[in-house]
Amino acid sequence: MAGALLIFLGLMWAVPMGLKWWLVQQLQHALKREVTVQAVHVNPLSLSFDIQDLSIKNTHGGEFVGWQRLTLKASAQSLRERALVLDAVTLQGPRVSAVHLGQGRFDFSDLLDGPQQSNSTALPKFVLRELSIQDGQVALEDRPHQRTHTFQNFNLTLPGVSSLAGKNGLTLRPELSVIVNGAPVHLGGSVQPLADAPEGALAFTLNALDLAGLQAYVPASLPLRLARGKLSADLKLQFSEHAGQMALMLTGTTRVQDFVLNDARDHALLSFKTLALSLSQSDVLARHLVFSDVMLDDPKVSVRINRTGQMNWRAVQPPAQPPTATTAPSATTESPALALQVNQLKVRGGVVDFADASVQPVVQTRLSDVNAVLRGFSTQPNTQADVSLKGHVGLAAPLEVQARLQPMALTTFLDAALHVKNVELTRFSGYARKYVGYALDKGKLSMDATYRINHHQLQADNHVFIDQLTLGEQVASSDAINAPVSMGVSLLKNSDGQIDIDLPMSGALDAPEFSFGALVGQTLGNALVKVVSAPFRFFGDLFGGEDLSYVGFAPNSFALDDAAKQKLSALTRALKSRESLALEVRGIFDTARDTAVQRKTLCEGGTVTSAVLDSLASCRSQAVAKWLMEVGQIQPERVFLLESHSREGGTPAEAGVSFSLR
What pLDDT score does 280 carry? 93
Closest CA to 248 of 209, 210, 202: 202
What pLDDT score does 129 carry? 81
Verify that 491 and 605 share a domain, yes or no.
Answer: no
DSSP class of residue 651 equals -
Higher pLDDT, residue 106 or 196:
106
Higher pLDDT, residue 600 or 403:
403
Verify that 514 and 583 share a domain, yes or no.
Answer: no
Verify that 387 and 437 share a domain, yes or no.
Answer: yes
For the stretch 547-557, pLDDT in tens is 788 888 888 78
Closest CA to 137 of 145, 129, 148: 148
What pLDDT score does 14 carry? 65
CATH number at residue 566: 3.30.1330.60
Identify the band that residue 115 occupies on the pLDDT scale cut at 50, 70 and 90: low
State the amino acid at position 483 in one-letter form.
Answer: A
What pLDDT score does 237 carry? 92
Phi-psi map region of 618: left, alpha, beta (phi>0 left; psi -120 to 50 alpha): alpha
Domain boundary among 533, 568, 584: 533
Identify the band that residue 327 occupies on the pLDDT scale cut at 50, 70 and 90: very low
- For residue 573, being part of any structural domain is answered with yes
Segment 334-361 shows an average pLDDT of 90
State the amino acid at position 539 in one-letter form.
Answer: F
What pLDDT score does 528 carry? 75
In this predicted structure, the answer to whether residue 426 has a pLDDT above a threshold of 70 is yes
Collapsing DSSP states into helix, strand and coil, what is residue 615?
Answer: helix
Verify that 503 and 434 share a domain, yes or no.
Answer: yes
For the stretch 474-517, pLDDT in tens is 999 888 888 788 888 888 888 788 888 888 988 888 777 666 66
Identify the band that residue 155 occupies on the pLDDT scale cut at 50, 70 and 90: very high
What pLDDT score does 398 carry? 95
- For residue 206, being part of any structural domain is answered with no
Which domain covers residue 611, as residue numbers? 536-661
Higher pLDDT, residue 78 or 72:
72
Pairing of strands 656-661, 583-589: antiparallel
In this predicted structure, the answer to whether residue 328 has a pLDDT above a threshold of 60 is no
DSSP class of residue 590 equals -
Verify that 517 and 556 share a domain, yes or no.
Answer: no
In this predicted structure, the answer to whether residue 605 has a pLDDT above a threshold of 50 is no
Segment 63-90 shows an average pLDDT of 85
Q: Are 592 and 613 in contact (CB under 8 A)?
A: no
- For residue 610, being part of any structural domain is answered with yes
- For residue 113, being part of any structural domain is answered with no
Identify the band that residue 317 occupies on the pLDDT scale cut at 50, 70 and 90: low
- For residue 386, being part of any structural domain is answered with yes
Rounded-to-5 percentages of helix, strand, coil across the chain: 20, 50, 30
What pLDDT score does 593 carry? 66
With pLDDT > 70 as the criterion, what percentage of the chain qualifies?
84
Higher pLDDT, residue 230 or 214:
230
Verify that 544 and 434 share a domain, yes or no.
Answer: no
Count the domains in the chain. Answer: 2
For the stretch 26-50, pLDDT in tens is 998 888 899 999 998 888 777 888 9
Identify the band that residue 524 occupies on the pLDDT scale cut at 50, 70 and 90: confident
Verify that 500 and 586 share a domain, yes or no.
Answer: no
Segment 447-461 shows an average pLDDT of 91
Rounded Cα distance between 277 and 294, Å, is 5
Identify the band that residue 610 occupies on the pLDDT scale cut at 50, 70 and 90: very low
Q: Is the dihedral of CA 483, 486, 491, 492 positive or negative?
A: positive
In this predicted structure, the answer to whether residue 598 has a pLDDT above a threshold of 50 is no
What pLDDT score does 1 carry? 75
Verify that 393 and 525 share a domain, yes or no.
Answer: yes
Verify that 509 and 579 share a domain, yes or no.
Answer: no
Identify the band that residue 606 occupies on the pLDDT scale cut at 50, 70 and 90: very low
What pLDDT score does 304 carry? 93
Verify that 391 and 468 share a domain, yes or no.
Answer: yes
Rounded Cα distance between 627 and 637, Å, is 14
For the stretch 386-400, pLDDT in tens is 999 999 998 789 999
Identify the band that residue 167 occupies on the pLDDT scale cut at 50, 70 and 90: very low
For the stretch 265-278, pLDDT in tens is 888 999 999 999 99
In this predicted structure, the answer to whether residue 168 has a pLDDT above a threshold of 70 is no
What pLDDT score does 119 carry? 54
Least confident span in 92-96, 163-167, 357-361, 512-516: 163-167
In this predicted structure, the answer to whether residue 650 has a pLDDT above a threshold of 70 is no
Segment 85-95 shows an average pLDDT of 91
In this predicted structure, the answer to whether residue 216 has a pLDDT above a threshold of 70 is yes
Closest CA to 146 of 178, 108, 208, 102: 102
- For residue 618, being part of any structural domain is answered with yes
What pLDDT score does 121 carry? 57
Higher pLDDT, residue 82 or 90:
90
What pLDDT score does 165 carry? 52
What pLDDT score does 353 carry? 95
Q: Are 303 and 254 in contact (CB under 8 A)?
A: no
Domain boundary among 533, 567, 595: 533
Stretch (H or E) spanning 277: strand 268-283
Closest CA to 222 of 312, 302, 316, 322: 316
Higher pLDDT, residue 590 or 303:
303
DSSP class of residue 510 equals T
Q: Integer distance in angstroms from the first to the last C-alpha of the chain?
A: 135
Verify that 514 and 600 share a domain, yes or no.
Answer: no
What pLDDT score does 607 carry? 46
Most confident of 103-117, 371-385, 484-498: 371-385
Higher pLDDT, residue 410 or 348:
348
What pLDDT score does 204 carry? 95
Verify that 504 and 541 share a domain, yes or no.
Answer: no
Segment 83-95 shows an average pLDDT of 89
Stretch (H or E) spanning 347: strand 339-356
Closest CA to 403 of 367, 368, 369, 372: 372
Q: In which order are the strands placed within the sheet that holds 656-661?
A: 550-552, 656-661, 583-589, 639-646
The overall average pLDDT reported for the chain is 83
What pLDDT score does 163 carry? 67
Domain boundary among 490, 508, 533: 533
DSSP class of residue 607 equals -
In this predicted structure, the answer to whether residue 225 has a pLDDT above a threshold of 80 is yes
Q: Are 35 and 22 in contact (CB under 8 A)?
A: no
- For residue 453, being part of any structural domain is answered with yes
SS (H, E, C) 96-149: EEEEEEECCEECCHHHCCCCCCCCCCCCCCEEEEEEEEEEEEEEEEECCCCEEE
- For residue 434, being part of any structural domain is answered with yes
Q: Are 64 and 108 in contact (CB under 8 A)?
A: yes
